[in-house]
Amino acid sequence: MPKRLASSLSYEVLEHVFSFIQSDKDRNVVSAVLCKSWYEIERWCRRKIFVGNCYAVSPKMVIRRFPQVRSIELKGKPHFADFNLVPDGWGGYVLPWITEMAGAYPWLDEIRLKRMVVTDESLELIAKSFKDFKVLVLASCEGFSTDGLAAIAASCKNLRELDLRESEVDDTSVHWLSHFPETYTSMVSLNISCLGSGEVSFSALERLVSRCPNLRSLKLNRAVPLDKTANILRLAPRLVEFSACTYSAELRSDVFSNLAGAFSNCKELRSLSGFWDVVPDYLPAIYSVCSRLTSLNLSYATILSPDLIKLVSHCPSLQRLLVLDYIEDSGLEALASNCKDLQELRVFPSDPFDAEPNASLTEQGLVAVSLGCPKLQSVLYFCRRMSNAALVTIAQSHPNLNRFRLCIIEPNTADYLTGEPLDVGFGAIVEHCKDLIRLSLSGLLTDCVFEYIGKYAKKLEMLSVAFAGDSDLGLHHVLSGCESLRKLEIRDCPFGDKALLTNAAKLETMQSLWMSSCSVSFEACKLLSQKMPRLNVEVIDERGPPDSRPENCTVDKLYIYRSVAGPRFDMPPFVWTKDE
Amino acid sequence: LIATFPNIYISTTVQYIDLSINQSAINLQSIMVFEKDLNLDATELRLGLPGSSEESLRISNKRALPDMNDDSGVAVAKKCDQETAPPTKAQVVGWPPIRSYRKNSLQTKKTEAETGGMYVKVSMDGAPYLRKIDLKVYKGYPELFKALEDMFKFKVGKYSEREGYNGSEFVPTYEDKDGDWMLVGDVPWEMFINACKRLRIVRGSEARGLGCVV
Q: What is the CATH number of the domain that holds A31?
A: 1.20.1280.50
Nearest to B131 among A358, A498, A534 (CB): A358
- A37, part of any domain: yes
Write down the H helix ranges in A192-271: 202-210, 226-235, 253-264
For residues A431, A435, A441, A447, the Cα torsion angle rounded to the nearest 10 degrees is: 40
Average pLDDT of the residues of chain B: 61
pLDDT digits (tens, 9 = 90+) for A113-135: 999 999 999 999 999 999 999 99
Angle, CA B56 vertex, CA B54 and CA B62 arms, to 5°: 120
Cβ-Cβ contacts under 8 Å, A114 against chain B: none
CB distance A369 to A336 below 8 Å: yes
pLDDT digits (tens, 9 = 90+) for B4-44: 334 333 333 333 333 333 333 333 343 333 334 433 333 33
- For the ranges A34-48, A147-161, A200-214, A551-565, the maximum mean pLDDT occurs at A147-161
Average pLDDT of the residues of chain A: 92
* Residue B5 to residue A51, Cβ atoms within 8 A: no
**Any idea what the CATH number is for the domain that residue B140 is in?**
3.10.20.90
* Residue A358 to residue B62, Cβ atoms within 8 A: no
pLDDT digits (tens, 9 = 90+) for A266-323: 999 999 998 887 888 889 999 999 999 999 999 998 888 999 999 999 999 999 999 9
Decide which of A223 and A325 is more confident: A325
- B15, part of any domain: no
Indicate if the pLDDT at residue B79 is higher than 80. no
CB distance A57 to A100 below 8 Å: no
* Residue B51 to residue A492, Cβ atoms within 8 A: yes
Paired with B160 in beta bridges are: B164
Nearest to B102 among A80, A348, A497 (CB): A348
- Main-chain dihedrals φ then ψ at residue A346, nearest 5 degrees: -130, 125
What pLDDT shows up at residue A263? 95
Euclidean distance between CA atoms A523 and A547, whole angstroms: 8
Q: What is the CA radius of gyration of chain A?
A: 25
Residues in A 216-275 with any Cβ partner in B closer than 8 A: none
The percentage of chain A sitting over the pLDDT mark of 70, rounded to a whole number, equals: 95
Tally C-beta pairs within 8 A across A and B.
174
- The answer to whether residue A38 neighbours chain B at the CB level (below 8 Å) is no
What pLDDT shows up at residue B163? 66
The residue-averaged pLDDT of A380-393 equals 97
CB distance A135 to A112 below 8 Å: yes
Q: Which domain holds residue A30?
A: 9-46
- A25, part of any domain: yes
Nearest to A473 among B19, B85, B95 (CB): B19
Euclidean distance between CA atoms A162 and A164, whole angstroms: 7
Run of H or E including A72:
strand A71-75
CB distance A224 to A251 below 8 Å: no
* Residue A414 to residue B61, Cβ atoms within 8 A: yes
Sign of dihedral through CA atoms A456, A461, A462, A467? positive
Nearest to B129 among A32, A357, A517 (CB): A357
- Main-chain dihedrals φ then ψ at residue A488, nearest 5 degrees: -130, 125
- A477, part of any domain: no
Decide which of A487 and B194 is more confident: A487
**Structural domains in chain A (count):** 1
What pLDDT shows up at residue B39? 37
pLDDT digits (tens, 9 = 90+) for B133-189: 888 888 889 889 888 888 887 777 777 666 667 667 788 999 888 888 888 988 899
| Listed residue (A328, A299, A386, A382) closest to B152, CA to CA | A328
How far, in whole angstroms, is CA A161 from its chain's centroid? 18
The residue-averaged pLDDT of A534-563 equals 90
- The answer to whether residue B47 neighbours chain A at the CB level (below 8 Å) is no
Residue from B13, B95, B105 to probe the interface with A (highest A Cβ count within 10 Å): B95
- A24, part of any domain: yes
B79–chain A nearest CA distance, Å: 18
* Residue B50 to residue A411, Cβ atoms within 8 A: yes
- A22, part of any domain: yes
Euclidean distance between CA atoms A322 and A329, whole angstroms: 15
The percentage of chain A sitting over the pLDDT mark of 90, rounded to a whole number, equals: 78
* Residue B50 to residue A467, Cβ atoms within 8 A: yes
**Structural domains in chain B (count):** 1
Indicate if the pLDDT at residue A338 is higher than 80. yes
Indicate if the pLDDT at residue A526 is higher than 80. yes
Residues in A 91-120 with any Cβ partner in B closer than 8 A: none
* Residue B61 to residue A473, Cβ atoms within 8 A: no
Indicate if the pLDDT at residue A257 is higher than 60. yes
CB distance A141 to B100 below 8 Å: no
Picking from A327-336, A482-491, A519-528, B173-182, which range would have the lowest pLDDT averaged per residue? B173-182
How large is the ipTM?
0.88
What pLDDT shows up at residue A456? 98
Indicate if the pLDDT at residue B210 is higher than 80. no
pLDDT digits (tens, 9 = 90+) for B176-206: 888 888 889 888 998 898 889 889 888 877 7
Cβ-Cβ contacts under 8 Å, A470 against chain B: 31, 54
pLDDT digits (tens, 9 = 90+) for A503-515: 999 999 999 999 9
Euclidean distance between CA atoms A414 and A426, whole angstroms: 12
- For the ranges A425-439, A532-546, B47-61, the maximum mean pLDDT occurs at A425-439
- The answer to whether residue B90 neighbours chain A at the CB level (below 8 Å) is no
pLDDT digits (tens, 9 = 90+) for A180-193: 999 999 999 999 99
A467–chain B nearest CA distance, Å: 8
Indicate if the pLDDT at residue A444 is higher than 70. yes
CB distance A45 to A15 below 8 Å: yes
- A225, part of any domain: no
Among chain B residues, the shortest Cα distance to A518 is held by: B51
- A160, part of any domain: no
Please tell me whether the overall predicted TM-score, pTM, comes out greater than 0.90 for this model.
no
B162–chain A nearest CA distance, Å: 34
Picking from A325-339, A494-508, B96-110, which range would have the lowest pLDDT averaged per residue? B96-110
Confidence label for B76 from pLDDT (cuts 50, 70 and 90): very low
Confidence label for B65 from pLDDT (cuts 50, 70 and 90): very low
- Main-chain dihedrals φ then ψ at residue B82, nearest 5 degrees: -90, -10
Indicate if the pLDDT at residue B64 is higher than 60. no
Among chain B residues, the shortest Cα distance to A277 is held by: B109
What pLDDT shows up at residue A197? 67
Decide which of B64 and A224 is more confident: A224
Cβ-Cβ contacts under 8 Å, A302 against chain B: 109
Decide which of B80 and B103 is more confident: B103
Q: Which domain holds residue B190?
A: 119-209
Decide which of A166 and B83 is more confident: A166
* Residue A416 to residue B102, Cβ atoms within 8 A: no
- For the ranges A61-70, A241-250, B119-128, the maximum mean pLDDT occurs at A61-70
A306–chain B nearest CA distance, Å: 10
Nearest to A357 among B50, B130, B150 (CB): B130
Indicate if the pLDDT at residue A482 is higher than 90. yes
* Residue A385 to residue B63, Cβ atoms within 8 A: yes
